[in-house]
């Protein structure tokens, strides 16, 4: 089960440009042979406890997140809360060949600077 945010929090709250439309996310996720993708705009209003309760109903074997993962309304849920209930695995940041972290912020900056080819490469396109 994958919980991709649509729209991503930065797009929802800060009106940042969307990097991948929903149909593209679904197409890419399909290639990963996942069983379910949960898209739900209500995530932004759920409390951290409500989010954890929903995950408990799924009974996950493990949960993979990034180091800066926050969840629930106002991003109040922190990694330690999740790890107290579930087997949480923290992913290291993904870096490009030059060693810089690949992030949506970096990609948006490249696009704003007119460096579209570099941005597209970081997006895996």
Structure confidence by residue, pLDDT tens digits, 86-95 = 999 999 999 9
Instruction: Give the residue among 111, 97, 12, 103 at the shortest CA–CA distance from 66.
Output: 103
pLDDT at 71: 86
Q: What proportion of the chain, given as a percentage, has pLDDT over 70?
A: 96
pTM for this predicted structure:
0.73
Read off the tokens for 121. Answer: 């490469």
């Amino acid at each position: 089960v994958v919980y991709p945010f649509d729209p991503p929090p930065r797009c929802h709250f800060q009106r940042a440009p969307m990097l991948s439309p929903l149909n593209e996310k679904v197409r890419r996720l399909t290639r990963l042979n996942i069983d379910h993708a949960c898209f739900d705009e209500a995530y932004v209003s759920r409390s951290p406890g409500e989010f954890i309760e929903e995950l408990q109903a799924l009974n996950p074997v493990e949960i993979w997140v990034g180091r800066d993962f926050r969840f629930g309304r106002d991003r109040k849920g922190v990694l330690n809360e999740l790890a107290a209930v579930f087997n949480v695995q923290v992913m290291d940041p993904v870096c490009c060949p030059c060693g810089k972290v690949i992030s949506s912020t970096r990609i948006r900056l490249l696009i704003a600077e007119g460096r579209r080819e570099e941005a597209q490469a970081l997006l895996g396109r």
